[in-house]
């Protein structure tokens, strides 16, 4: 063997070593690159109170996934922007997340109105996205393929209220709706339900958001003298209307509002007048859903407060994404879409199951009542923690 050959072999050996080192370094760097999950959050604007829980659910989902080694051997990283409760801003932000930030996965925004604006974008860019803030069924109509509903449909919100009223002999109802996609869908469903149940709608109105001064509306409700008031609301209008009814000294026998009463601030903002207000939820601490107790414990440890159903919905969204990524061993949008559309996933909110157009088929609705400062499930009977207390006294 000549010296020249030896030198040549030596050079080739070292070159191979260097190439291997570069290759390994490249692979290692790739392995370390996090999976980026993107979302827009209504950190400001009229939806900010509820959207704060929306964000925390995602943050906990990401933290939990990372605590278990991440997905596909990669850590997760959350990237989000404030959409200011504005659908137009959210559309710009999701475009930025997809085209500029090139995030790997997306979670939908908070509220039906904003989700409705964002959904066409997901179909255009073909990004499979769980939508934990979208209860409006119209978002998931024919033509939708990439957005998946992670809440029960809006038409089912507070749908136990009118039957509950009827079971107590009440038949006159006032129905109010904020002028937003979800609340209008919810309100129309309750108006239709009242008709089906043969109940009299003695007062009905819609109102703009941010909410107006409710004193005149409260007076109009008092004049109509319903047995029950059902409000399809968000947080600020739920507070405003409860205050306004109290200010004119009127307490209907039944008083139900969506969304607002689920938030901790609702009781501290209004005090004792919240007693016996009824609201709805798609998740509850006492439910025996998959890992529910663990979810609550980890949420409390991370945020030092109790979770609400918004947080459970977004946590479930991350669970669905995680299940799809692990099952397909891929971040390929088409593979993930096909898997999510055809599989059930056990989540803290119950069983996720998608209908043909992404509409939620598995989640259930519940009603709770504030009783002496505590929220207790009162409907349906199989899950109730207490019987509904009647009448609402306004104090």
| Contact residues: another protein, CB under 8 A | 43-46, 48-49, 52, 84, 176, 179, 205-208, 210-217, 219-220, 223, 235-236, 239-240, 243, 246-250, 265, 268-271, 273
Complex with another protein: residue 159 or 308, whichever CB lies closer:
308
Complex with another protein: residue 92 or 166, whichever CB lies closer:
92
Residue 305 Cβ, how far from another protein at the closest point, in Å?
13
Residue 389 Cβ, how far from another protein at the closest point, in Å?
21
Residue 296 Cβ, how far from another protein at the closest point, in Å?
22
Q: Are 106 and 148 in contact (CB under 8 A)?
A: no
Complex with another protein: residue 60 or 267, whichever CB lies closer:
267
Complex with another protein: residue 69 or 271, whichever CB lies closer:
271
Q: Which residues contact 70 (CB under 8 A, 6 or more apart)?
A: 34, 35, 76
Residue 55 Cβ, how far from another protein at the closest point, in Å?
12
Q: Which residues contact 294 (CB under 8 A, 6 or more apart)?
A: none
Token pair for residue 163? 């039957």
Residue 71 Cβ, how far from another protein at the closest point, in Å?
31
Complex with another protein: residue 72 or 201, whichever CB lies closer:
201
Q: Which residues contact 35 (CB under 8 A, 6 or more apart)?
A: 70, 71, 72, 74, 75, 76, 77, 104, 105, 325, 331
Residue 33 Cβ, how far from another protein at the closest point, in Å?
31
Complex with another protein: residue 243 or 389, whichever CB lies closer:
243
Q: What value does the CA radius of gyration of the chain take, rounded to a whole number of Å?
A: 25
Token pair for residue 133? 């803030």
CA dihedral 267, 368, 59, 297 (to 10 degrees): 90
């Amino acid at each position: 063997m000549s010296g020249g050959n030896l030198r040549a072999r030596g050079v080739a050996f070292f070159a191979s070593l260097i190439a291997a080192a570069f290759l390994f370094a490249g692979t290692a760097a790739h392995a370390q690159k996090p999976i980026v999950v993107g979302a827009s959050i209504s950190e400001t604007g009229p939806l900010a109170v509820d959207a704060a829980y929306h964000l925390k659910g995602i943050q906990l989902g990401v933290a939990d996934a990372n605590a278990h080694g991440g997905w596909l051997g990669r850590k997760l990283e959350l990237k989000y922007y404030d959409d200011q409760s504005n659908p137009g801003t959210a559309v710009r932000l999701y475009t930025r997340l997809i085209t500029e930030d090139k995030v790997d996965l997306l979670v939908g925004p908070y509220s039906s109105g904003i989700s409705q604006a964002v959904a066409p974008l997901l179909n255009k860019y073909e990004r499979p996205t769980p939508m934990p803030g979208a209860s409006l069924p119209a978002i998931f109509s024919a033509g939708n393929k990439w957005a998946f509903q992670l809440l029960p449909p809006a038409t089912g919100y507070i749908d136990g209220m009118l039957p509950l009223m009827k079971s107590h002999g009440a038949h006159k109802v006032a129905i109010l709706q904020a002028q937003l996609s979800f609340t209008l869908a919810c309100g129309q469903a309750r108006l239709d339900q009242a008709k089906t149940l043969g109940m009299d709608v003695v007062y009905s109105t819609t109102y703009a958001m941010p909410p107006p001064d409710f004193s005149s509306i409260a007076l109009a409700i008092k004049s109509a003298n319903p047995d029950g008031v059902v409000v399809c609301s968000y947080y600020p209008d739920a507070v405003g209307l409860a205050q306004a009814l109290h200010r004119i000294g009127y307490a209907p026998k039944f008083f139900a509002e969506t969304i607002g009463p689920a938030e901790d601030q609702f009781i501290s903002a209004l005090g004792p007048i919240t007693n016996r207000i009824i609201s709805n939820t798609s998740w509850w601490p006492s439910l025996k859903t998959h890992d529910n107790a663990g979810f609550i414990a980890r949420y409390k440890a991370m945020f030092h407060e109790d979770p609400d159903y918004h947080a459970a919905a977004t946590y479930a969204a991350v669970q669905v994404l995680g299940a799809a990524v692990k099952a397909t061993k891929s971040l390929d949008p088409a593979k993930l879409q096909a898997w999510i559309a055809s599989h059930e996933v056990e989540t803290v909110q119950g069983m996720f199951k998608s209908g043909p157009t992404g509409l939620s088929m598995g989640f259930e609705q519940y009603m709770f009542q504030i009783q002496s400062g505590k929220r207790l499930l009162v409907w349906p009977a199989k899950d109730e923690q207490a019987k509904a207390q009647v009448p609402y006294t306004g104090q």
